Structure 1
Amino acid sequence: MEDTLKRLNIFVLEDDPDISHFLNLFLSDYFNKVTVKTDNRFNYSDFDNIDIFLLDIEIPFDSGYEVCKRIKTIYPNKPVVFLTAHSQLDDKIKGLELGDDFIPKPFEPLELIARLKNLLKDRYGDFVYLDELIVDKRAHVILDSVTRTKIPLSETENKIFFYLYDNMNIRLSREQIINHVWGVEGHHGQTNSLNVYINSLRNKVDIEGKLIQTIYGYGYKLSDLKE
């Protein structure tokens, strides 16, 4: 999780200058990028690269609750954590209903990190970085590692990629791949189809041709680029 955490980006909304400064310095030791704002002067469209949000409730010109609602509308699967001096039961319940965790101030920094890690592990724990891709093993989804956006694959392309992925660095024959994707009964006449799908898959996830390697006269192999 430590290696994954250093690849993730966090957005902090905190109007107290001392706390915001501390969080910026402290979280920078754990995350790839820390973005700190003290009010609502930001664009929600800029959050594609953000992986987790840490929000105060009382901020100038807005409410952390309203910010959370907008974030969840656009990015329903991205975790939101409230870090706030509002510690009444009603506040906690509302925060947990809207977001994913609620941490009252004053807070212990190491506890904050532990709770962020738990959320991220649950949400991103099955993510694997593969060259310029993020592979979500649980959901069978591939993301662009820069934009964090989903790369659209057809059902057949998805089956081929994850069959290669599940057999990383293993040479798979064309017959093995065809049998897995189309079944033994659909084997005949699918060689050309496989070639077409491999080319389409490369255009989407492997433009430079480093990941999906052709084993001439045999089949294909997905490489982790470490060999």
Structure 2
Amino acid sequence: MQPSTILIVDDDKDICEVTAALLQSEGYATLQANNGEAALDMLENSIDLIILDIMMPGDSGFAVCEKMRRVTTAPILYLSAKSLPTDKEIALNSGGDDYLTKPFIPVELLARVKAMLRRYHIYSKNQQRGKLNDEFIQIGGLAVHPTSGEVFLNNSPVFLRHKEYQLLSHLIQNRGSVFSVQYLYEALWSEPYLPSANNTVMVHIRNLRQKIETDPQHPKYILTVWGEGYQIV
């Protein structure tokens, strides 16, 4: 089996080398880029996962991530020395899937990489399977597996980023219940609720609706209960 290829984007060449050596020790193939422009050029290759810094010459990691999202669905893990909650919020809203601060613990980086690749390969390599079993929760044309990360809409696979899938899975497994923004944020992001978290949850709901609703402005799956939160009925 061909090893997964991971693109490391960081202007610190030492961090690139250390990260590459760690990933290669686990059997992954790696590519390195020291700025956003070089990284975007490398997306022509088969990239399974991207590790992205924020503070780089030229475009910031946030801007690079937004450009990457126009051409790839590969998971993006931010790896940055910036640790403010607002940095993480911007990172995830720009299209990132996860966020890890420097200096990082090698075992944690590897664990996150493995989990992200496992979810991604469900979509990129197993889409032809297309068979639903009794474990899927189905509502109309929407089918969600509660643990595997698989989502189908009218029998076609839907690629969701990790937090999007967690949010959808939680709502559909608790069909009929209304969950506040504060509850969803604290339960799924595992962080204390702050006012800025409202936007984080709303962005993920909006992205979900874009992917699973025929008319996102008039959703039939994820409903807004004004003044209370969100539910699937």
TM-score by length of 2: 0.50
How many angstroms apart in 1 are the aligned matches of 2:39 and 2:113?
23
- Residues 10 and 33 in structure 2, CA contact (< 8 A), matched pair in contact too: yes
Mark the CA change 1:12 to 1:139 in structure 2 (over 3 Å): closer, same or farther. farther
User: Which residue of structure 2 aligns with residue 111 of structure 1?
Assistant: 108
By how many angstroms is 1:43 displaced? 6.0
- What is the identity, as a one-letter code, of the residue corresponding to 1:114? A
How many angstroms apart in 1 are the aligned matches of 2:18 and 2:39?
23
3-state SS of the aligned residue for 2:103?
Answer: coil
By how many angstroms is 1:138 displaced? 5.1
By how many angstroms is 1:92 displaced? 0.7
User: Which residue of structure 1 aligns with residue 29 of structure 2?
Assistant: 33
By how many angstroms is 1:125 displaced? 3.7
- Residues 11 and 35 in structure 2, CA contact (< 8 A), matched pair in contact too: yes
How many angstroms apart in 2 are the aligned matches of 1:31 and 1:95?
28
How many angstroms apart in 2 are the aligned matches of 1:21 and 1:106?
14
By how many angstroms is 1:73 displaced? 0.9
By how many angstroms is 1:32 displaced? 3.7
- Please point out which of 16, 19, 22 is paired with 1:23: 19
Mark the CA change 1:17 to 1:43 in structure 2 (over 3 Å): closer, same or farther. closer
Mark the CA change 1:139 to 1:41 in structure 2 (over 3 Å): closer, same or farther. same
How many angstroms apart in 1 are the aligned matches of 2:47 and 2:58?
22
Unaligned runs of 5+ in 2: 132-233
> Which whole-Å deviations, capped at 9, do the CAs of 1:52-86 have from their partners, x for residues lacking one?
100000011220111100110111x2111100001
How many angstroms apart in 2 are the aligned matches of 1:59 and 1:139?
41
By how many angstroms is 1:137 displaced? 4.5
For 1:1-227, list aligned pairs within 5 A. Answer: 7-42=3-38, 44-47=40-43, 48-75=45-72, 77-98=73-94, 99-125=96-122, 134-137=125-128
Unaligned runs of 5+ in 1: 128-133, 141-227
By how many angstroms is 1:20 displaced? 1.4
- Residues 85 and 106 in structure 1, CA contact (< 8 A), matched pair in contact too: yes
- Residues 10 and 31 in structure 1, CA contact (< 8 A), matched pair in contact too: no
How many angstroms apart in 1 are the aligned matches of 2:4 and 2:78?
18
How many angstroms apart in 2 are the aligned matches of 1:66 and 1:83?
15
- Residues 15 and 39 in structure 1, CA contact (< 8 A), matched pair in contact too: yes
- Name the Cα RMSD after superposition: 2.4
3-state SS of the aligned residue for 2:11?
Answer: coil
How many angstroms apart in 1 are the aligned matches of 2:110 and 2:128?
24
TM-score by length of 1: 0.52
Work out the number of aligned pairs and report it. 130
How many angstroms apart in 2 are the aligned matches of 1:56 and 1:62?
11
Q: Percent identity?
A: 29
By how many angstroms is 1:34 displaced? 0.5
